Amino acid sequence: MNAKVRYDKKLLRAWAMYDWANSSYALVISSAIFPVFYEEVTRHGSDDRIFLWGMMFKNTELYTYALAISFLIVAVFSPLLSSIADYTGNKKMFMKFFTYLGAFSTIMLFFFTGRENVVWGLAFSILASVGFWGGLVFYNAFLPEIAPPEKQDYASALGFTYGYIGSVLLMIFNVMMIMKPGWFGIHDDPTLPARISFVSVGLWWMLFAQIPFRKLPDNIYEKPRSIGIKDLTKGYVKLLEVLHNIRHQPFLRRFLYGFFLYSFAAQTIFYIAGLFGSKELELPADKLLLTILIVQLVGIVGALSFSKMAEKTGNIYALLTVLGIWTLITVLAFRLDKNNPNVEYLFYFLGGLVGMVMGSIQTLSRSTYSKMLPDDPSVHTTYFSFYDVAEKIAIVLGSFAWGVLEYWTGSMRAAIVMMMLVFIASGLIIYPLQKYWKQHFG
């Protein structure tokens, strides 16, 4: 299958530019500017309630439900999209569709101004998320067609690097516009800088995606342009096969239990952190955005540091250390008080800790899982599809649980306690794997 793959640095760089294009969405819309903007424009003074569809919601509760819905859609359709990517020669067409869906939906957030059109904002944020994750399925599926196996790790790292640089550059520009709107001739509308930033992300996404769209090969293995119903359902069938096989792999099963739990907590905290700072601590938007930048800048250092630690001490010990830091983060976050004169700096410190362990837990999880898979390389893609779906479902449940607890208690702090308990439980589940790891990997 790899016989037709010719290593071409220019093609690899063109492929990596898709990461440059879409990572701005992951930073600006998913984790930074949009969540903070949403919380501010849907709150009137101390009133954070939104009456919708005959029911009363807290504004942030409603946001967590929308987040859960977007990841549920992704989890349900991911196996279908993977089947399309595997069996059809139309990958580029589908990649374009999801790119334009995501970018257009992001641009449409410009017209979201507050609780009077909150459904518009939430609907397009859901569609943007579907576009982002759907496009990634086909982006990843191109990798075996543009890089031989021995170059695929390098290609993945190149994509990560491009995505990191591109997203941070655009984020810095948008933060400057929000903090200093007068520099850009904006004086009357305080919501305008953030809304312009949504447009900038959509345009950036579409513009730089044209580079991979022009350069990526189309159907080099001459796959059929159309596929049947059986081909479309193969992704789901394979997931069921993995689920059956895992029952007979006790160590892998134990790891996945722990992985599901800590993904439930870590991913939810990552997506909700800005809302917590805005609502519970009442920090201004510029302070929150600075924290998100700290998370990004520290993230790559943390990922590399804990990867080195895993080489020396083993993956399980490194993972347990990361989970210990996550638990500490939840304890410190619970104790933060908006009346503390140093709350701003304490939140920066927490942001640095989150940045250090967010990238670490993702890279360690994937490498640990990869080493525990069966020796047969032909099943690895299916096992990773199962892994990705499990992670998305964990985010769905984590986001939904956060919203429900906030509704029941009237505060986000109960959700933080729940996340702390989940981290502790996941650590207790994974801890016994240390003996297995030493026996199999030294």
What is the pTM assigned to this prediction?
A: 0.82
Least confident of 22-31, 122-131, 208-217, 251-260: 22-31
Residue 227's pLDDT band, with cuts at 50, 70 and 90, is low
- Give the pLDDT confidence of 33-73 residue by residue, as tens digits: 898 889 888 888 777 788 888 788 888 888 889 989 998 99
Alpha-carbon distance of 324 to 343, in angstroms, equals 23
- Give the pLDDT confidence of 167-221 residue by residue, as tens digits: 889 988 998 898 888 898 888 888 899 999 999 999 999 999 999 999 887 765 5
User: What was the pLDDT predicted at 6?
Assistant: 63
Q: What percent of the chain has pLDDT over 70?
A: 91
* 138-152, 281-295, 375-389, 421-435 — most confident range: 421-435
Name the one residue in this structure whose structure tokens are 């700072």: 277
Alpha-carbon distance of 204 to 167, in angstroms, equals 10
User: What was the pLDDT predicted at 152?
Assistant: 66
User: What was the pLDDT predicted at 4?
Assistant: 56
User: What was the pLDDT predicted at 140?
Assistant: 77
The residue type of 103 is: A
Residue 1's pLDDT band, with cuts at 50, 70 and 90, is very low
Least confident of 233-237, 340-344, 430-434: 233-237
User: What was the pLDDT predicted at 7?
Assistant: 67
Residue 3's pLDDT band, with cuts at 50, 70 and 90, is very low
Answer with the residue of higher pLDDT: 358 or 435.
435
Is the pLDDT at 264 greater than 90, yes or no? yes
Region 107-114: what's the mean pLDDT?
Answer: 95
Query: Domains of the chain, with CATH numbers?
Result: 9-227 (1.20.1250.20), 232-442 (1.20.1250.20)
